[in-house]
Each structure stands twice: as C-alpha cells, then as structure tokens.
Structure 1
Amino acid sequence: MLESLLEPLPPNSSPHVNRLLRSNDAPLDSEALVIRSIVSDGENRMRALDAHIFHLQATLAQLSQRRDETVEHLRVHRAILSPIRRVPTELCAEQSEIWNAPMAAWFICRSWRHYALSYPLLWSSVTVSCYPSWYESETQRLLSKLQTQLFRAANASLDIHCWYGGNDPDSHLLGLVLPSSNRWRNVSFHVNSGKCRLDWLLPTSGKLDRLETLEVENFGATTFPDVFTTAPNLRRVILTLMPNTNRGAPIYLESIPIPWGPITQYRGELPGARQLEILQAAPNLLNCALEIAEGSNFIPPTDTTVTLPHLRRLCLDAAAFHLNVVAPELEELCSVLGVCMVPLITPLIQRASCTLTRLVLWQCRLHTELTDVLRALPTLSYLLLENRHHREEDGVAFFATMTISGTDSDVCPHIVSMVYGYEHWDKYASKDAFISMAKSRFRTQHALRSRLSRLRVFKSASYLEHHEPPKLDMKDQIQMLQDEGLDVAFLGEQETTEYLSRRYI
C-alpha cells in the first residue's frame, strides 16, 4: 500500500482531459464524469497519504512531497469543473466604480475583454467630481473618461455619483451628464463643503423618470432645487451625516424636497424632530433604518405616535428606540445595542403591536436580560447575535438556556436560521455549551418545534485585523454537524463584512 502511494502520479492518457487542461473550455457531461472520477481518485489518494504521514514519521518528508503533487493534481482538475467556466460573460464583473470594473474584466481572458467593451451595464456607474477651475488637467481626464463611459453605456440606466466640494461641475462635464438625466437610476451626492446650492440640477426637473434611489452624504448646509418631487419612480432615500472635523458639530441638511408618500425604503441620520417629520410623511415605508443625530440627548414627544402600516423591517440606533412607532406588519428588528439598552426591545415591540419573526442584534452581550427578551419572542425564526464583551460564565448560561428540550419553557423554539458572532472565544466551556445548543435544535424530534437548518459563525469585524484567530478548535464538532446534514459554516472576512453591511438598507 505504502509503496504504491510513493509512486508518482501517472500521466493523463485521455486526449480529452489533456485538451481541457490546456484550455478554458467547459467539459461536456461525459467528460465531467471522467474528471470527477480523477478528482475522486485523487481525493482518496490524498486521504491515504495523510494517514501515513501521521503514523509514519520516518517517511514524513517523502510523503509530504507526494501529497503536494496530489494537491496540485486535484487543483488543476478541479479547475476544469470550476463554475467560472459556466458563468455567462455578461456577469463577468459587478457594477462598481466607473473605471475599475470594466478594466478588471479585460485581464481575465479575450472573450471577457470583448464583452467588457460591449456590455453597457458595466459602464453605467458614472462619477461626477467638482474640481476648482484651476485643476484643468484633472477636469480633462474626467471628461475623456466620461465620454468613453457614456458611449459604452449606450441606453442603459445610469448610476450617478457626485462628489461636490463647493465648485459647480465644469460646464463641459454638465454638457455630457445632464442630457442623460432621463436615464439616471441611482443618484448619490457626497457633499463636503459649507453652505452651497446645487442649482445646476434644475435642467433635470421633470426628466428623472427612471430615478429609483437618492442618497446624500452631507456635512454642509446644502440646498437642493425642487427636482426630485417629479420623479415618479423614486422609492429609496438615504440621508446621512458625516462628521465635520473642521467645525466640531455637524451641519444638517437644510433643504431637499422629496416626495415622501411613495417612498418604501428610507435610511436617515438626522435630528430626532426631523426623523419624526419624515416618518409621518412616509406611510408606505417597507424598510426603515433610523439614527438620531443628537444621540441620547433626544427625548421624543410623548404625544406623537407614528403609524407605519406596511413596515416590514426596522433598524434603529439606541436613541431611536424611544420613538413611539406602530407597525403591525413588522417582521424584522435590527439594532446595534449595548446590554443596558436590551430591555428597550420588548416595550418597542409591544408599542408596534407586531409579531416579530427576525431579530438582529449587533454589539450585544449575552446576559439574562437578553434571555428575557428572547423568551418573550416565541415566533422568532431567524436570530443574529454579535456577542461583544464576552464573559465565559454568561456564555455558558445563555447557551444552556437556549438549548431546547421540547417543553413549554423552551426559548425561541421555532428558530430555523441562526448567525452568531463573537469577539473572542478562548474557553471550552461556552464553546461546548454552544455546540450542545446547536445539536438540540438541529436534532429536535418534537412536533411543535422547528428544526435548525442553517448556522453561521463569525469573528467580530472590529477584531479581524488586529487580533489573531482564536486557538479554540471547533472543526471536529462543526464537521460532525455537517456530516449529520446541518448547513453550518464559519464566515470568512469578506462574508462577515457582507453581513455587517446588512445592518442598514
């Protein structure tokens, strides 16, 4: 057995396999069966080599060399089965910044270069930067880039990103962008100046038929002309503040006429009084994320109630939990909360008069008060918890409480999907309690209990760059749950970042 494993891999005898190794062609079904057989043989060979490496230290060096050869053998054959060979060329790159996405696609292969040049959506994200008149070389570069983009974008809907520093855009730049306003789909303004007016937008009035999203990042006293109230398809609005480091306190948006009635998605970081005005003017909201600019200094009026009859998802900062919002159709609540704010969840849900099915809590801490909140939410089917300031005894107690046994005392017995983030995890006791909790929910046979079908674990993003991964090894337990059929996995840094982005709309 050992002697056969030490032999080099035989060369490929099939001309079809050799052809696939030298090209980017996708295999035929019959060829894929052959490749899968080669991969399967290679995987079996690698497992056998691993076993001998473990038991036969004397031959470790030679076996390791053969294993490396096998891994490479698997890699090149797996590449033949890679889904990238089947990805339609029109999906070769996402729309991102105006220049980078099409350029990146050029370097993949000849066919992708062809489609990067001819596929309009890749060129539809346009940046308009407002430079001083003396910055002529930069203006000329932007003009050349913009001309190319608009030509390649053809008649596709456009995403316009305006970086505004106080100077109006160059007239030649406006001459290219404004005539295409009937194709603007998403428009964002990043304003970093003092008091200013955006009157150059006036020619777009009555022409924004495709506009769906308006986003404004502002720490200047900016005044917008009334051009958005006539946009019939505007549904998503984002109004956020940026810290004004030069002046200390932020300067809030002065004027931006928006038709709030049809808006279905809103995210805002504004003073509390302004947030109340917007909520009262937007009864058709489905998705809402609120941050109160004054923070804990904001005290909402007790006689003001906002009714949002269609709201499905609500994301709040701690200060916004004091708002009196009635939302009978609310399904998901999302928040970044410290432990002292957790008791505010239950009163908010009671005021909303809703049946919550999804709860997302960032920067939370496992604590008895959190358990009390979850116990009052028996209808939850999805739970995301990012555990901050971890204490071992709290973790053991919390996961023990979350373990179900088929009795009426079970906490959230209908959870089918769970995501758990941790700051650090250095002890085995809470780890074992976590695994026991997952097993109890996945293996449940109780007729009135839902079965956990999806579990994700991640390390808090704030510690990804500055801390080493924990030494705690859970691979065996996770593998066991995977073997039993549970969809469970650790999230990498990119996937964790994607989860973090979902804190807002």
Structure 2
Amino acid sequence: MTFASRCSECGFFLGTSSDDSQQISESFAVRVDTTPEYYKLLSSNDPPYESCDVELVDSVVSETEKCLERIDDRIARLRSRLAQLEHQRLSLSKHLARNKSILSPLRRLPDEILVEIFSWTLPSIVTMRRRGSFDVTQPPWILGHISSRWRAVALASPSLWSLVAVNYTGTVDDRLPMPRAMLETQLERALTLKIHFYASEKAAISPQQWMFEFLAAQSTRWEELSISLTADLLPLLNRLRGQLPVLSRLWLQWDSARSQPKAAAQSELIDTIDCFETAPALVDVGIYNEYAFVPVRLPIRQLVRYQLDGPLAVHRRLLEQAARTLVEVHIDLCFHPPFWVDSDHITIPSLRRLYIRDSIVLDYLTLPALEEVALCIWDLRTASYVANIQSLVSRSACPLRRLCVKGLLTSQSTLDLLHALPSVAELAFIAHSHYSKNGAEELIEALSDVSAAPHLSGVFLGCENKCHIDYALYAEMLRARWEADHCALHRAALLIDSNWDSDSLSGLTDETRFDLDVLRGEGLDLVLCEGVEATEVIGGWTFNSVWN
C-alpha cells in the first residue's frame, strides 16, 4: 500500500512509493472533467460551437498552465537542491583528496629521491634547442609552483639549473624572449654550468657577442661546453684561456663555411684555438671540422675520450700522447691523405671502444683492453677491414665482444668478420642510406640461418636517413634464432631515427610491431625505439658525442 500526501505549494505527492514516475504523473496531472465533444475538437480542426465547449477548453488551458507553473517551480527547486548537493560533493571530494594526500608516499620520499625524479622531467637538449628560449611552464621552473616543499627542494638542487641552451640558428620560438633577469636567476641557482651555445652567421652579431660575454663571465663554473662557433666569437673564446678550471666535456663545431677563424676586427688569421690547453679537468673532447681543419690545443695527456675529424698526423699525436689515459676514441681521417710515416705501433692499454672509418689505422695500434669496435665502411673492397681487424685482435689479444658495422654492408664481409672474431657476442649494423639497404637485408637473411654465427647473443639494427628496411624480415630472423636449439640470442634492438614523418613512411607495420611484441613477451630483451631517442642511441653505437 502506498501512503502519499499532496504538497500544498506545488501539488507534488509526497509518499513512500518507489515508482517516482507514477508520483510525478499523479502530482502534475490536469484534473478537468471532459466530454466526448472535447476529444472530437482535439482530433479535428472544427471550432467549438457551444459555449460549454469553450468554457471547458478554457478550464483545461487554465489548469494546464497551473500544472506547468508547478512543474517549473519544482524543477527550479530541484536544480537549486542539485547545485547545493554538487557543491557539497565537490567540497567533500577536495577534503577527501587532501586527507588522502597526507598518507601519500610522496610525502615520505627523501629529498634526494625527489631530486632524481625532478631530473627526469627536465627537457632534453634537443627540446631546448628547438624552443630557443626559457619557458616558465616547463621544468625546472614549473617545479616551484606545485608545493612549498617542491619549491624548496628545486631551489636547493643546483643540478636542476645547470643546463643553459642559447640557440641563434634556424627558426626558434621568440614568443618568450630570454629575459636577462631569468638568466641571472638560473645562474644564481646553479652551481656548475652546462653551456650549449649555438651561434649563427645569419643572425645579428651584437646580441650573440653580448650573450657569450655574459656567460663567459661565469666560465670558471663551466662544467660542459657545446658550441657552434662563428668567426666573430672565436676571439672571445680564446680569451678564456686559464679561466676553465672545472670544464670536463667539450664539443666544438663551426656554424658554416663562412665561420673560418678570422678575427672580427683584425686582418690576421687566428689559426689555433688554445683556450682549452690549460683546462685541468678536461677529459672528453669532440671536434667536428666540417669545412676545414682548425688546430685546437688540448691537454692531451689527460684525455679519456676524444672524437675528431682531422689529418692522420694529428690523430697519431693524440694517440701517442694520451695512450696512458684513453678509454674511447672516434677517429675520422680527413683533409690529408691517410699516410702513416713509419710502422711503429702505438699501445693504448686502457682503450675499450674504437670507431674508425679507414682501416689503415688498425695496422698501427695495439689495444689489449679493446671490447667494442665500430667500423664505418664506404669502400666496397671490404677485405682489408677483415684482415686489418683480425690482425689487430690477434696482435692485441683483446677481449673483443661487440662489433658495429655502418655504411656499405655486405653480408659476406660481415659474416667473415664474425667468423674471424669468435669472441664477438653482439652485432650491431646501421643502414645509413639507400646504398646500404640491400646489404643490410642480405645480412638479415643470412643471419636467419642460425648456423651463421650461432654464438651471437645480441643482434641490433639501426636505420638512419629514411633508409627503408624490410622490418618484417628482421622480425622473422629474430624469431628463427630465438626458436633455434642451442642459440645464444637473448638481446635485440630495432631503432629508427627521427627523420620519419609517420609510421607508414618508416615501413614499420602494425603486424611487425605485434610480432616484435610477441617476442618480447616470450622473454627476448628487445628494444623498439623511434625518433630522437633512437638517433641518440644509434650515435652511441659509433661512439659519437650524444650529450650535445
């Protein structure tokens, strides 16, 4: 049984019935006694002829309007009540969230863990170069706007503020110009500085000179310097001799062919960069001489790593004088014929990683600690590479475990290398251009036969410069080796560089992605990487400076 009473104000029935629609229908029903003639009028276009019919319709209209008024009033009351409930719910939700936050593990994180998390939010140098300005909506600036503790931790962590990138090349976002006050604030918060300065011959000279001099005033705090030089900046750079006490890493290149080292206000040629010779902490050097070789004086005997495009004589001097300290070397021979004056061997006892583009270098080195070698092959006559590296390994008795091959790959020469070097457990090959595509695919097919180098525990493929590879073929090769008996494969990687506009252009289909994911799910340690990150990893395979 349902007990209900009508509201005296709106006419709504208040009862215990669970049928709300029935209550609504009863509460707002039009209660007028009608006649058959009335329904005839409703279903036709005839006018009412009797006065009683007119009075009936008038009463129906009046009663209906009253019902609508009651409904509108009821709706308004319900909306007001709903708004109150929603406001109350929002207030309670916030109260609940604030109380839950008290129990959040984030509140118990040690400051050093929080700093580590913050460091992973910092933009990459590629992002900072493209942005071309300070952005207060991005880390580390935004970290001070979350909570008082986050702000305190961020401000007390100099490492979060050490990277300074200034870019005058290409198109940058000028909507947020770099204000001097912001730059000064960042320099105050940092302890040591990682300076990335990209000058341009096409941009106005004065702002670049002013900015470089402003940063150079802090050169005693420079820990890292990556610079793209112009002719006008070279004299300013050379003035820093003796003012780089903590500089440990250096990357130097020239903006353009017009950036040949002439003093901006002098007629004589500045033929040497000597400001780094007295840097007592400098151990890692990369110099890219794209247009002409410019001598750079370095503290050679303390170098742990160097990368250089230069004549063989310069490389020989570096190798001889830094033989006791070198661990990694990236050698590009250029500007003079690769002619070694005599046959003396250079023994570098601690060198573990070596990149070469000309195999002649291998004939004059003894590397007892060599573990990884990267070969850039642009000569179809690859027999010399096989003989040279086999001779090096035999002479050095080194524990070579990883081989990277880039350029004009041939499956036979690579297999010959693997056969000649049974200690090699990991193979990386980089398809760099259309000309190396066929060789890479032939090598993939050859490796599908597990009897070819069954000892390989890692097979890695990198693709650069829109070099289209049949990635399905690579997945099939991995599957064949993964399922083979007594096969050592447990690691693999497929890296596609950042020049692709879309997955469809890269040729990596959803089906191939699925096949690779299945292999990963079965236990293969497989890395699939595209874009800027892939470019950096591929660069690391050939021991390029990837930090800049």
Which TM-score applies when normalising by structure 1?
A: 0.66
Q: 1:489 to 1:286 in 2, by over 3 A?
A: closer
Alignment of 1:235 with 2:279, yes or no, is: no
- Structure-to-structure mapping, 1:183-222, within 5 angstroms: 183-193=221-231, 197-198=235-236, 201-202=239-240, 205=242, 207-218=243-254, 219-221=259-261, 222=270
Q: 1:337 Cα shift?
A: 2.3
Partner residue of 1:458? 495
Q: 1:145 Cα shift?
A: 4.4
- The one-letter code matched in structure 2 to 1:419 is F
Match of 2:371 among 306, 328, 331: 331
- Structure-to-structure mapping, 1:95-114, within 5 angstroms: 96=125, 97=128, 100=134, 103-105=137-139, 106-107=141-142, 110-111=146-147
Asked whether the equivalents of residues 411 and 440 of structure 2 are also in contact (C-alpha less than 8 Å), the reply is: no
Q: 1:239 to 1:101 in 2, by over 3 A?
A: farther
- Structure-to-structure mapping, 1:434-473, within 5 angstroms: 434-440=478-484, 444=486, 451-459=488-496, 467-471=505-509, 473=511
Q: Which moved more, 1:324-333 or 1:187-196?
A: 187-196
**Whole-angstrom distance in 2 between the partners of 1:266 and 1:427:** 34
Partner residue of 2:195? 160
Q: Which moved more, 1:276-285 or 1:104-113?
A: 104-113
- The one-letter code matched in structure 2 to 1:269 is D
Asked whether the equivalents of residues 411 and 439 of structure 2 are also in contact (C-alpha less than 8 Å), the reply is: no
Alignment of 1:276 with 2:290, yes or no, is: no
- The one-letter code matched in structure 1 to 2:253 is E
Partner residue of 1:417? 458
Q: 1:390 to 1:22 in 2, by over 3 A?
A: farther
SS at match of 1:214: strand
Q: 1:129 to 1:458 in 2, by over 3 A?
A: closer
* Unaligned segments of structure 1, at least 5 residues: 1-14, 30-83, 132-139, 243-249, 405-409
Q: 1:420 Cα shift?
A: 2.2
> CA RMSD for the aligned pairs?
4.3
Asked whether the equivalents of residues 237 and 266 of structure 1 are also in contact (C-alpha less than 8 Å), the reply is: yes
- The one-letter code matched in structure 1 to 2:406 is W
Q: 1:196 Cα shift?
A: 5.2
**Whole-angstrom distance in 1 between the partners of 2:95 and 2:319:** 59
Q: 1:398 Cα shift?
A: 0.9
**Whole-angstrom distance in 2 between the partners of 1:171 and 1:338:** 40
Q: 1:475 Cα shift?
A: 4.7
- The one-letter code matched in structure 1 to 2:334 is A
Higher Cα radius of gyration: 2
**Whole-angstrom distance in 2 between the partners of 1:20 and 1:433:** 57
- Structure-to-structure mapping, 1:160-179, within 5 angstroms: 160-163=195-198, 176-179=214-217
- The one-letter code matched in structure 2 to 1:456 is A
Q: How many residues align?
A: 402
SS at match of 2:489: coil
Asked whether the equivalents of residues 124 and 157 of structure 1 are also in contact (C-alpha less than 8 Å), the reply is: yes
**Whole-angstrom distance in 2 between the partners of 1:176 and 1:169:** 10
Deviations along 1:170-189, whole A, 9 cap, x unmatched? 89767754453332211233
- Structure-to-structure mapping, 1:112-123, within 5 angstroms: 119-123=157-161
Asked whether the equivalents of residues 360 and 388 of structure 2 are also in contact (C-alpha less than 8 Å), the reply is: no
Alignment of 1:287 with 2:328, yes or no, is: yes
Q: Which moved more, 1:215-224 or 1:93-102?
A: 93-102
- Structure-to-structure mapping, 1:294-313, within 5 angstroms: 294=335, 297-301=337-341, 303-313=343-353
- The one-letter code matched in structure 2 to 1:274 is V
* Unaligned segments of structure 2, at least 5 residues: 1-89, 106-112, 170-176, 262-269
Which TM-score applies when normalising by structure 2?
A: 0.61
Asked whether the equivalents of residues 20 and 27 of structure 1 are also in contact (C-alpha less than 8 Å), the reply is: no
- The one-letter code matched in structure 2 to 1:93 is L
**Whole-angstrom distance in 1 between the partners of 2:134 and 2:237:** 30
Q: 1:107 to 1:485 in 2, by over 3 A?
A: same
SS at match of 2:226: strand
Partner residue of 1:497? 535
Deviations along 1:117-144, whole A, 9 cap, x unmatched? 554223223357899xxxxxxxx96644
**Whole-angstrom distance in 1 between the partners of 2:188 and 2:115:** 29
Partner residue of 1:149? 186
Identity %: 21
SS at match of 1:261: helix
